[in-house]
Structure 1
Amino acid sequence: MFDKIKIAFPGLGIGRFEVDSTAFKIFGFEIQWYGVIITLGIILAVIYCSFRAKQEGIIFDHVLDITIFTVIFGVIGARLGYVLFSLDDFHSFADVINIRGGGLQIYGGIVAGAITIILVCKYKKIKPLKMLDATAPAVMIGQFVGRWGNFMNGEAHGGIVKEGSPLYFLRMELEPYYMNGRLVYDTAAVHPTFLYESLWNVLGFVLINILYKKKKFDGQILLMYISWYGFGRMFIEMLRTDSLYLGNTGIRISCLIGFLCFAAGTTLLTVFLIRERKKAELTDEDYVPAYPRLSGMNASADASADASANETAESVSSEESHSHEQGLEDKAEQSVEESTEEMTAEAQVGTDENKDEIEQKFKNIFNNDEKSE
């Protein structure tokens, strides 16, 4: 990191300008652009994460709690990741905790952050994979914004880009050009690897957001992020001049981890997608046994309904017939009673009608009743 450096992007039509790593001072205390930009990236990431978490059924209060712990332990993990592979550069505990001097390793931060999210989610009884899905694209926001902090520090760039290279138009001219802390050239055209990674994360963020609504299982977005970032970082790291190496093997740590992330992520993603597809692709044969049973049930139900309807109709008809007959009998009895009362009354008043006439009336009444029946 250098206080001031001159930068130009001739291929993009941007002339030389001076970059100062110090943003401003508060009571004589310097605030670096790196810290300001990283903070901005975290804020934007939290805003996005809260939006996605809400879709996953996670409330904002939980997102905020998770964010606080994740940022703290993520920074610690990033610092430890750098220190573990650069032990010769640290001579005391004060050197280890002095992050203002630079030295964070992104994979250490990602691993520590993921573990923190899982533990906090378990404590709050939240499904960790849902939260990790919401967090993965948010991390990409933090990465493509945060890489511009490296730009303001004049760091995380690549080696010299040769004229005729497909990436030559993106070349960044540095004045002066330092490699591993040593002055190499007064001016040099180098790979702006911070820009490559920033653009790679922007593209990945867009693609993952397009596919987010189509995810088939919890954890899919996380695996997509791991695969995407690992693949890109593996190649971009090959262009950098400040890589961390695995001992004296010449193997770049970020290249190795990037390859492992890409391999593991794509393998798991493929396995789980195939599993989900098999669940969804049920053939017609799987439903054949169910249709006859359903048809038989419907036929049985229809037959029962018809039988019930017939029984009901017969019952109603029988009741109507019985009711009609009962009505006729009641009418006949009523007619007999009325006639009897009439004749009794005539007899009591002493009419001159003889006995034969009275008997004839009785016969006529009974004959009429039989005809009416």
Structure 2
Amino acid sequence: MNPIAFNIFGLDIRWYGIFIATGMMVGIVLANFTSKLKNLNYDELLNITLISFPIAIIGARAYYVIFEFNQYKDNLIEVFNIRQGGLAIHGGIIFGMIAALIYTRYKKENLLEFADVAAPSIIIGQAIGRWGNFFNSEAHGGPVTQTFISKFPDFIQKGMLIDGVYYHPTFLYESIWNVIVCLLLIYLLSKTFKRGTVFFSYIGLYSLGRFFIEGLRTDSLMFAGIRVAQLISLTGIALWIIFLVINYKRKTLE
């Protein structure tokens, strides 16, 4: 696939950036709908987004670079070049949530209320952003047979043919899973649940899908021979379960 969408005054505009920007815009539009479901201040949610998003990008890049530092130690200026990929969603979530926590504490708002409403927007942004990986020919899985890949649309087959070898379109698996999770989160948001339920369900459900999909990938960030994303995913699933158990026990004691 050609990672460059078009050129403006000598500057290459890459599909990767376009899909990230599109994901953010779609997320903002969706947040206008989800904030109404909970009668939450949409303008305040936008303020949180405008502060958290750039911090999340910095965090996503820093997270990736830390685990792949050998690629950058001899050319540190490349640390700032994110046009060709190299953003780790887990780092983005962690840094973005820290920024949102600081802001909501300062404004004396409840972080979980806004996190619940934002969760569907975050994951639909992830679903769209994964297509940037497709055009960069990255975040794919291991080799597959032509018979296997022939079950996918032609443009997926062509995009997953890299140096004469077909690969698992893991970006597509995750994108589809994220759309399904987004719909589930919107459904949960339309019901009455304790604050934090939707956000922690986002963490748990995304982590569940990511754990299995990560096992297929060939470019996983590694630490001590362990796929970092799978380790973080297990942590996310555990946090989700702990949250649900604690809420259930509180409910039974009331």
Q: Tell me: CA distance 1:190–1:205, structure 2 relative to 1, closer, same or farther (3 Å).
A: same
1:112-127 matched pairs, under 5 angstroms: 112-127=95-110
SS state at 1:99 partner = coil
* Cα distance, 1:162 vs structure 2: 4.8
Q: Give the fraction of aligned pairs with identical amino acids, expressed as a percent.
A: 39
Higher RCO (C-alpha under 8 Å, 6+ residues apart): 2
Alignment partners' CA distance in 1, 2:131 and 2:188: 27
Q: 1:169 to 1:177 in 2, by over 3 A?
A: closer
Query: How far apart, CA to CA, are the structure 1 residues paired with 2:43 and 2:160?
Result: 48
Matched, 1:74 2:56: yes
Quote the residue 1:237 is aligned against: 214
- Which of these residues, 57, 61, 64, is aligned with residue 46 of structure 2? 64
Structure 2: gaps spanning 5 or more residues: none
Q: Cα offset for 1:148? A: 0.9
Once the two structures are TM-superposed, the CA of residue 263 in structure 1 deviates from its matched residue by 1.6
Shift of 1:53: 2.6
CA contact (8 A) 1:21 1:152 kept: yes
Distance in 2, matches of 1:271 and 1:59, equals: 28
SS of the residue corresponding to residue 39 of structure 1 reads helix
SS of match in other structure, 2:6: strand
CA 1:173–1:120: 2 relative to 1, 3 Å? same
Q: Is the Cα contact below 8 Å between 2:120 and 2:185 reproduced in 1?
A: yes
Instruction: Give TM-score scaled by structure 2 length.
Output: 0.91
CA contact (8 A) 1:216 1:273 kept: no
SS at match of 1:202: helix
Name which one, 1 or 2, has greater alpha-carbon Rg.
1
What TM-score do you get using the length of structure 1 for normalisation? 0.63
Q: Deviations over 1:331-354 (max 9, x none)?
A: xxxxxxxxxxxxxxxxxxxxxxxx
Structure 2 contact 160–167 (Cα < 8 Å) conserved: no
Shift of 1:161: 2.4
Distance 2:192 2:146 in 1: 43
> In structure 2, what is the Cα distance between the partners aligned to 1:157 and 1:175?
10
- Aligned residue identity for 2:200: L
Asked if 1:151 is matched to 2:151, the reply is: no
CA RMSD of aligned residues (A): 2.2
Worse overlay, 255-264 or 75-84: 255-264
Which residue identity lines up with residue 99 of structure 2 in the other structure?
Answer: T
Q: Is the 8 A contact 1:176 1:187 kept in 2?
A: no
**Equivalent residue for 1:260, pick from 221, 235, 250:** 235
Other-structure match for 1:191: 168
Among 221, 225, 231, the alignment partner of 1:250 is 225
**Contact 1:197–1:236 under 8 Å retained in 2:** yes
Q: Match of 1:72, as an amino acid?
A: P
Residues 97-108 of structure 1 correspond to what in structure 2 (within 5 A)? 97-108=80-91
Q: State the SS of the aligned residue for 2:96.
A: helix
1:109 aligns with 2:84: no
* Residue among 25, 35, 42 paired with 2:24: 42
Q: What is the CA-CA distance between 1:136 and the residue it aligns to?
A: 1.1
Q: d(CA) in 2 for partners of 1:111 and 1:168?
A: 38
**Counterparts of 2:205 and 2:87, CA distance in 1:** 21
Aligned residue identity for 1:136? A
| Structure 1 residue runs without a partner (length 5+) | 1-18, 179-185, 280-373
SS of residue matched to 1:242: coil
